[in-house]
Amino acid sequence: MYNPFNALASLIVTRPKQLAVLFCLLLIVAFYGMTMITMATGTDTYLDKDTRRGMLLDKYTKTFQSESVLILIESDDVMSPDVLTYIDRLEQDISHERYVTGASGISDMVKSRNGGVLPTSRAEITSIKEEVPPEILALYLPSRTMTISVVTVDQGLEDAQAFSLVDNINKRVSLSDRPPGVNVVVTGNQAFSKEMSAAMSTSMGTLILVAMILMVIAVGLLFGHVRYRLLSVFIVGTGLVMTFGVIGFSGMQITMVTIGAFPVMIGIGIDYAIQFHSRFDEESRKSSIAEAVTTTITKTGPSVLYAMIATAMGFIALSISPLPMIRSFGITCVIGIICCYLAAIVVVPVFGILVQYRPVKETAQKTGAGKSYVERYNEIVGGVVKVVSRNAVPVLIVCVLFAVIGFQMDNEIIVNTDEKTFVPADMPAKVNLDKVKRTMGETSSIPVYVQGSDLLSPESVLWMYEFQQYEETHNSKITGSASIATYLAQYNGGVLPQTVPEIDAVMKKIPQQTRDRYVSWNTEAVIEFTSIAMPNDVAMSMTERMQKDLAWKTPPPGIHASFTGMGEMFTNLIREIRQGKTQMTILGFGMIFVFLYIIYRKFTKAVTPLVPIIMIVGWNGLIMYLLAIDYTPLTATLGSMSVGVASEYTILIMERYYEERANGLALLPAIQYSIEKIGTAITVSGMTTVFGFAALMVSAFGIISNFGTVTVISVFFALAGAIIVMPAILVLVGMMEGGSTDTKENQDV
């Protein structure tokens, strides 16, 4: 039967130079693909537009929502004549920009009360200020030293258009002739998104650089018993380039969550490189290079492939998430580990043949006892395994107990979907936006998108008006509301028109800009509720209550109403994250079990590597609760990712165990010998994985640094599960399969 691993080994042994050239050409193509990578921010990363909620939000945004760019102006006295003149001139310049529908601010308010012209003296300005009602003046002039101009832009701008507009406004500001002491800052949601996109790009480069540096340090410290110890870092680097190339050619975009995939990929990829390098080094000590290549590829190749596929299953399980950014994270990780596996299985043997690899003498690193550090570590691991194997049941009881506690605590962990907490706290755009919110006051908008054949009928208008009044009087968190019904009453002497002719007559009195803000073609309308600012979990409860009110106070026949908007999206993420993380973890377990059952055709062999992982998932929940780390769109992937990462270690140990059993070793000696032989490689690869994941902890993005903390701990749990829990499981499985643990059989190897 054709064996691809034998064929690959034969090809590498006979044509190593040709494969090296082909691999280099592949890297050149991948480098070109890297230039096509783009960043993604905004609602598209949180909500799939193909879903009903996504289509509804997209339609609402493009039809009714008008984003604004805010111009924050600070001076010793923003009401001085020269500053007002500057503000007026700047607003007029910005109004000529593409995508801008208008700009207004304190200068417009002053002109409107001075015959359409700006006053030229402080006395005139003071007189005008005294005429303006305090509540209106506070909107334009929150303090003597600060004012905010609002630039209204076209509805439904794409990110590229919005970012280009922000750049153009910044250029206008930089080229403007500012009076001495005047500071001008462009802020708002679009400026925030633009700067976040730039920060993401910088963060990604920093994280990859730190991860690679940590890889060099980790491999240099932990993998010194082999020659060319940094070869593994080179392999991961090539795998990273290939991954970027695939992403670039595929048209995928990098999101805030996807950034975290690259250190994860580096951490896992170094493991594959170390496994192949370690086995090749082991085989080259007792056979020729050609034989070492063949043995490494045919023995380690399938084992690592099974582990890689199992890991991929954990990431593939993320594809059921409703959040596009989580799906993108999973796809990126799958692409990355496949590229790293292919690079490792090719580069290690090809490099070994080309340089005529010679292993380091085992006497090169000795301890005081005359044994190498690797031998001493193997003995320590063997001693731990021996103790665990002889006390399998008590060890499992303790481990299961902590896992059960973790599963219980998992439900108490907070789910955080506030995007502003994900980005660096000192990011200028965030600082400026926070300043604006503190100055102007922070409120939340809760839009209700209304669709129907005749939304300006008396019945429809009356329903909107009554629903608004009901929510304002029955919901203490609602601060106000507005719809076309609001303005129909306002322009009709405070009374809602009762007939179609009356409605048509009043509609003609309402300014076109106001009409377009709340109704479109008599088939689409919006009710805008404003509420106090509140955490997303509280907002979710309030939205659920309002949805129940909407179900009770239903619109007229033929009219459909749904809650939408950014606030609804972020609050709904709480529910989706909480439900999705459990579903993704269960799916990961199921997919890996099915895969292993297909490979082994035996239930016990398929389920054995998964038992320790179930405990690890529980331990993750416990440590997150103890460290007060929230669930976010990124940490929500931890369960499924842990299933994939930890399964590699447990599968490799089980594979080596059955290999030694087939070679004639008894139950406990086979367990001890297997973990002694593979324990060093697993520990080194696990620790280098920890170093790779640790790079996440240096990120200025809170969402990524917290993810780094829990993933580092999770890898330690995975190692503990492989070296402590797995031997206990193998003892029980071996006894079920007819193995013996009596004294005669348990002699040391």
| Percent share of the chain, pLDDT over 70 | 95
Structure confidence at residue 740 (pLDDT)? 53
As a whole number of angstroms, the distance between CA 685 and CA 688 comes to: 5
Mean pLDDT score, 273-293: 89
Structure confidence at residue 141 (pLDDT)? 80
Structure confidence at residue 654 (pLDDT)? 87
Query: pLDDT at residue 642 above 80?
Result: yes
Between 422 and 169, the more confident residue is: 169
Mean pLDDT score, 72-76: 89
Nearest partner of 231 among 291, 264, 280, 285, judged by Cα:
280
Nearest partner of 151 among 266, 262, 69, 57, judged by Cα:
69
Mean pLDDT score, 30-50: 82
Going by pLDDT thresholds of 50, 70 and 90, the confidence category of residue 37 is: confident
Between 559 and 66, the more confident residue is: 559
Which of 440-444, 613-617, 683-687, 698-702 shows the highest mean pLDDT?
A: 613-617
Q: What string of DSSP letters covers 326-391?
A: HHHHHHHHHHHHHHHHHHHHHHHHHHHHHTT--PPPTTSSB-TTSSBHHHHHHHHHHHHHHHHHHT
Structure confidence at residue 749 (pLDDT)? 39
Mind listing the domains of the chain with CATH numbers?
4-40+195-419+572-736 (1.20.1640.10), 68-154+157-187 (3.30.70), 428-571 (3.30.70)
**Range with lowest mean pLDDT among 129-133, 240-244, 277-281, 588-592:** 129-133
Between 222 and 604, the more confident residue is: 604
Q: What string of DSSP letters covers 229-297?
A: TTHHHHHHHHHHHHHHHHHHHHT-EE-TTGGGHHHHHHHHHHHHHHHHHHHHHHHHTTS-HHHHHHHII
Going by pLDDT thresholds of 50, 70 and 90, the confidence category of residue 234 is: very high
pLDDT tens column, 451-467: 988 889 999 999 999 99
**Range with lowest mean pLDDT among 40-49, 127-136, 343-352, 527-536:** 40-49
Q: Estimate the crossing angle of helix 566-600 against helix 638-662, to 10 degrees.
A: 10
Residue 332: how many CB atoms within 10 A of its CB?
A: 26
CB neighbours of 559 closer than 8 A, spacing ≥ 6?
Answer: 450, 451, 452, 455, 460, 463
Structure confidence at residue 421 (pLDDT)? 80
Give the 3-state secondary structure of residue 449.
Answer: strand
Structure confidence at residue 373 (pLDDT)? 62
Structure confidence at residue 364 (pLDDT)? 43
Mean pLDDT score, 431-441: 73
The first and second tokens of residue 641, run together, are 């990712």
Mean pLDDT score, 551-571: 85
Query: pLDDT at residue 22 above 90?
Result: yes
Contact 626, 664 (CB under 8 A): no
**Range with lowest mean pLDDT among 132-141, 190-199, 317-326, 509-518:** 132-141
Structure confidence at residue 743 (pLDDT)? 40
pLDDT tens column, 92-143: 999 988 888 888 888 888 888 888 888 888 888 888 888 887 767 777 788 7
As a whole number of angstroms, the distance between CA 225 and CA 219 comes to: 10
Structure confidence at residue 596 (pLDDT)? 86
Between 612 and 427, the more confident residue is: 612
Mean pLDDT score, 251-264: 84
How crowded is the C-beta side of 239, counted as CA atoms within 13 Å?
Answer: 37
Query: pLDDT at residue 242 above 90?
Result: yes
Mean pLDDT score, 1-9: 83
The first and second tokens of residue 655, run together, are 């594979």
Give the 3-state secondary structure of residue 561.
Answer: strand
**Range with lowest mean pLDDT among 85-94, 143-152, 172-181, 350-359:** 143-152
As a whole number of angstroms, the distance between CA 161 and CA 98 comes to: 9
Going by pLDDT thresholds of 50, 70 and 90, the confidence category of residue 622 is: very high
Structure confidence at residue 321 (pLDDT)? 85
Structure confidence at residue 406 (pLDDT)? 93
Structure confidence at residue 206 (pLDDT)? 86
How crowded is the C-beta side of 297, counted as CA atoms within 13 Å?
Answer: 27
Query: pLDDT at residue 747 above 50?
Result: no
Compute CA distances 616 → 300, 620, 691, whole Å: 25, 6, 19
Mean pLDDT score, 50-78: 80
Mean pLDDT score, 594-601: 87
**Range with lowest mean pLDDT among 89-98, 234-243, 251-260, 368-377:** 368-377
Residue 153: how many CB atoms within 10 A of its CB?
A: 24
| Percent share of the chain, pLDDT over 90 | 22
The first and second tokens of residue 67, run together, are 């984003």
Mean pLDDT score, 615-644: 89
Residue with tokens 């165990």: 657
Which of 58-72, 243-257, 338-352 shows the highest mean pLDDT?
A: 338-352
Contact 323, 580 (CB under 8 A): yes
Nearest partner of 201 among 253, 136, 265, judged by Cα:
253
Query: pLDDT at residue 164 above 80?
Result: yes
Look over the chain and give the mean of its residue pLDDT values, rounded to a whole number. Answer: 85
Mean pLDDT score, 177-201: 85
- Residue 545: burial class (beta carbons within 10 Å; 0-12, 13-18, 19+): middle
Between 541 and 679, the more confident residue is: 541
> Edge to edge, what strands does the sheet with 183-187 contain?
100-104, 146-153, 68-74, 183-187
As a whole number of angstroms, the distance between CA 88 and CA 105 comes to: 8
This prediction's pTM: 0.76
